[in-house]
């Protein structure tokens, strides 16, 4: 159980596979390869899962919108993959009831939607058999009357409304912890994994790539990491890395970026997610000529997204602009009434990048083709030993990893198992007997620990016996507790206050919890990380700067 950060181990071993990038794509690749028996290294220049993988709507999409594009295989693929995520990490996923309202006199009205949903349900027949726990299948959908929709979605105008449809999507409590759960799965299966290790350049032997020169950005130490195959899974930064080999414009990889913003607001609906039509252009089955915006109930708030804009300039430090937030507020107020939201209702906001390829549709209306790619630069460009793996959706990251490792395995001499990730659970997945003994911690705290840590929950709770102060709640109703900070440092490689505040817990993703709370968390981390008062203060300052 647990992960220790040991950058020196990256240099010591001869790895079969080195993966650059610890987002969900790199994490799934590492878990897949390690469970086949390969010796794996995974490096992430910042913190695991902190870039695009933290900026999503956190949906494990069933893929209904691919029906509009008549991509039935893609819809079935996404629907199946969300079930594998459920097998792998049942504690981090749950089914969310989703309402899609329909309107009179438009091509994409009730009959089209009903037919689409029936077709979709037909495509998904038999998929429940893929679940380790078949009792947890996708709940059935149903048609909704006008009265149903107006009761479920406060503020929606009855004008032109003809009813709607209810279906269920899989949602993640914490997508950052989902990524981390795969990283842990890789580590438990022998992978050397480290955050805050940046790949700077490729190591070459003739044309062949044989590893990377890297930097441990915590110590400043240079590292030479050798591997028989290197995989570039650096998401939006794939192109920057490959350009060092003259590979920037080769293949279909990344020709531009579109950015997507989300905001977290006061709760607007009571338990139901909704896809609301907007006046913006789109390519989707769920709207009435315009793109739709989602309101998703999330941790007692509403998670609202996505606004799309073309992106120019640096790829770092993405934070939503006032215009992006204004777009989202405008969309919501147009659909639910002028006074529904003001900027003061926005608790937190974040943005991420969709890398676009030459074949993608216009970035102004980007809805994503969800086409992942695996490029073998040995076969395509005469640079053996290097693959690029380009993820397009969180939902299909496991499948992408399976396909990529299927292609890479024959290049590596050795006896490798077939892909193991379809019917297994990650180490943190809870099993039937897992529970926290009554009285160890309070009931709400036990509930949060079981969701966040699954099979490790009892071990996390046991930290409280060391120091009862660790049962203190961090911020109000954010699901974060003192034990989280200590566990994050000891067992989950948290190096900075931001790692705990934004990724190991959801303390910061519901908005600024206040300087006092941040200082208390930094002080909990300080003992294990050897921080002095000045370091505590600088960590608090850096974290405060992340909030508007």
Ligand X SMILES: Cc1cc2nc3c(=O)[nH]c(=O)nc-3n(C[C@H](O)[C@H](O)[C@H](O)COP(=O)(O)OP(=O)(O)OC[C@H]3O[C@@H](n4cnc5c(N)ncnc54)[C@H](O)[C@@H]3O)c2cc1C
7 near ligand X, judged by CB under 6 A? no
Does position 20 interact with ligand X (CB under 6 A)? The reply is yes
Burial environment of residue 453 by CB neighbours within 10 A (0 to 12, 13 to 18, 19 or more):
buried
Judged by CB, which is closer to ligand X: 399, or 507? Answer: 399
Binding segment (CB under 6 A) for ligand X, from list 139-147, 281-289, 351-359, 434-442: 351-359
Q: 296 is written with which tokens?
A: 């998703």
CB of 69 to ligand X, least distance (A): 16
Task: Using the minimum distance from each CB to ligand X, give the nearer residue, 162 or 232.
Answer: 232
Give the Cα separation of 492 and 191 in Å (integer): 14
Q: How far is the CB of 46 from ligand X (least distance, A)?
A: 5
Nearer to ligand X among residue 71 and residue 198 (C-beta): 198
**Which residue in the set 234, 408, 489, 536 belongs to the binding site for ligand X (CB under 6 A)?**
234
With CB under 6 A as the contact rule, which of the stretches 133-141, 283-291, 350-358, 475-483 interacts with ligand X? 350-358
Q: Which is nearer to ligand X, 352 or 511 (CB)?
A: 352
Q: Which residues have C-beta within 8 Å of that of residue 151, sequence separation ≥ 6?
A: none
**Contact status: 33 vs ligand X (CB under 6 A):** no
Q: Is 232 in the site for ligand X (CB under 6 A)?
A: no
Interacting residues of 255 by C-beta distance below 8 A, sequence separation 6+: 356, 357, 358
Measured CA to CA in angstroms, residue 130 lies from 73, 87, 89 at distances of 17, 9, 14
Q: Are strands 346-356 and 197-205 parallel, antiparallel or unpaired?
A: unpaired
Task: Name the residue nearer to ligand X (CB basis): 24 or 383.
Answer: 24
CB of 102 to ligand X, least distance (A): 22
How far CA 429 is from CA of 2, 445, 483, in Å, comes to 13, 18, 19
Instruction: Pick one of 86, 306, 455, 495: the residue that binds ligand X (CB under 6 A).
Output: 306
DSSP letter at 425 equals -
Query: Does 44 participate in binding ligand X (rule CB under 6 A)?
Result: yes
> Omega into 306 within 30° of 0, i.e. cis?
yes
Q: Does 35 bind ligand X (CB under 6 A)?
A: no
Q: Which is nearer to ligand X, 161 or 263 (CB)?
A: 263
Q: Which two tokens stand for residue 360?
A: 């993608």
Which tokens sit at 276? 């609301």
Nearest to 355 by CA among 474, 500, 237: 237
| CA angle, residues 514, 517, 519, in degrees to nearest 5 | 105
Phi-psi region of 70 (alpha: psi -120 to 50; beta: other; left: phi over 0): left
Residues 401-420 that bind ligand X (CB under 6 A): none
Task: Return the number of other C-beta atoms located less than 10 Å from residue 92's C-beta.
Answer: 26
Q: Is 521 in the site for ligand X (CB under 6 A)?
A: no
The least CB distance from residue 270 to ligand X, in Å, is: 22
Distance (Å, whole) CA 113 – CA 100: 9
Q: Which range, of 284-292, 388-396, 421-429, 528-536, touches ligand X by CB under 6 A?
A: 388-396
46 is a site residue for ligand X (CB under 6 A): yes
Nearest to 19 by CA among 183, 184, 220: 183
Among 475, 471, 477, smallest CA distance to 500 is for 475
**Which of 21, 63, 482, 508 lies at the binding interface for ligand X (CB under 6 A)?**
21
Minimum CB separation of residue 238 from ligand X in Å reads 8
DSSP 417: P
Dihedral pair phi/psi, residue 274, rounded to 5°: -145, 145
The answer to whether residue 297 forms part of the interface with ligand X (CB under 6 A) is no
> Which of these ranges, 269-277, 352-360, 445-453, 522-530, lies near ligand X under the rule CB under 6 A?
352-360
Indicate whether 211 belongs to the interface with ligand X (CB under 6 A).
Answer: no
Q: Does 506 bind ligand X (CB under 6 A)?
A: no
Asked if residue 352 binds ligand X (CB under 6 A), the reply is yes
- CB of residue 53 vs ligand X: minimum separation in angstroms? 3
Read off the tokens for 184.
């842990």
Q: Which is nearer to ligand X, 10 or 233 (CB)?
A: 233
The binder of ligand X chosen from 45, 239, 292, 503 (CB under 6 A): 45
Cβ proximity to ligand X: between 162 and 306 the closer is: 306
Binding of ligand X by 251 (CB under 6 A): no
Contact between 363 and 256 under an 8 Å Cβ cutoff? The reply is: yes
- For ligand X, the binding residues (CB under 6 A) are 20-26, 43-46, 50-53, 55-59, 61, 198-199, 233-237, 241, 260, 306, 352-354, 391-395
């Amino acid at each position: 159980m647990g992960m220790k950060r040991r950058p020196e181990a990256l240099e010591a071993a001869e790895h079969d596979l080195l993966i650059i990038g610890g987002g969900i794509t790199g994490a799934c690749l590492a878990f897949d390869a390690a469970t086949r028996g390969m010796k794996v290294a995974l490096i992430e220049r910042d913190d695991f899962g902190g870039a695009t993988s933290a900026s999503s709507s956190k949906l494990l999409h069933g893929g209904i919108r691919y029906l509009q594009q008549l991509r039935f295989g893609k819809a079935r693929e996404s629907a199946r993959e969300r079930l594998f995520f459920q097998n792998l990490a049942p504690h981090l996923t749950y089914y969310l009831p989703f309402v899609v309202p329909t309107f009179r006199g438009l091509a994409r009205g009730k009959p089209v939607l009903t037919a689409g949903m029936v077709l979709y349900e037909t495509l998904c027949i038999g998929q429940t058999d893929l679940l380790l726990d078949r009792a947890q299948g996708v709940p059935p959908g149903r048609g909704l009357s006008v009265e149903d929709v107006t009761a479920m979605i406060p503020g929606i105008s009855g004008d032109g409304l003809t009813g709607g449809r209810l279906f269920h999507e899989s949602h993640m409590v914490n997508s950052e912890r989902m990524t981390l759960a795969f990283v842990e799965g890789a580590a438990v299966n022998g992978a050397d994994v480290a955050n805050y290790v940046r790949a700077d350049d490729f190591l070459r032997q003739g044309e062949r790539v044989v590893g990377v020169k890297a930097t441990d950005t915590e110590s400043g130490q240079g590292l030479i990491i050798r591997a028989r195959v290197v995989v570039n899974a650096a998401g939006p930064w794939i192109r920057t890395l490959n350009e060092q080999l003259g590979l920037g414009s080769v293949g279909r990889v990344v020709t531009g970026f579109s950015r997507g913003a989300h905001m977290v607001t006061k709760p607007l609906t009571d338990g139901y997610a909704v896809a609301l039509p907007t006046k913006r252009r789109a390519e989707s089955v769920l709207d009435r000529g315009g793109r739709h915006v989602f309101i998703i109930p999330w941790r007692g708030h509403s998670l609202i997204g996505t606004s799309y804009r073309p992106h120019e300039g640096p790829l770092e430090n993405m934070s939503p602009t006032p215009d992006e937030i204004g777009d989202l507020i405008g969309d919501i107020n147009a659909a639910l009434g002028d006074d529904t939201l003001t900027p003061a209702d926005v608790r937190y906001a974040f943005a991420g990048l969709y890398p676009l390829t030459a074949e993608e549709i216009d970035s102004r209306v980007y809805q994503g083709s969800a086409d992942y790619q695996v490029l073998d630069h040995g076969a395509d460009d005469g640079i053996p030993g290097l693959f690029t793996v380009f993820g397009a959706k969180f939902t299909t990251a496991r499948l992408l990893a399976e396909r990529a490792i299927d292609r890479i395995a024959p290049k590596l001499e050795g006896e490798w198992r077939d892909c193991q990730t379809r019917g297994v659970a990650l180490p943190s997945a809870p099993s039937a007997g897992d529970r926290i003994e009554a009285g160890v911690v309070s009931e709400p705290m036990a509930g949060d620990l079981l969701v966040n840590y699954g099979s490790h929950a009892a071990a996390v709770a046991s930290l409280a016996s060391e120091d009862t102060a660790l049962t203190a709640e961090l911020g109000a109703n954010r699901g974060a507790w003192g034990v989280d900070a200590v566990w994050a440092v000891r067992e989950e490689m948290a190096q900075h206050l931001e790692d705990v505040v934004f990724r190991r817990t959801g303390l910061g993703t519901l908005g600024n919890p206040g300087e006092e709370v941040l200082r208390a968390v930094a002080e909990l981390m300080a003992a294990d990380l050897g921080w002095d008062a000045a370091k505590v203060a600088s960590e608090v300052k850096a974290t405060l700067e992340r909030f508007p």
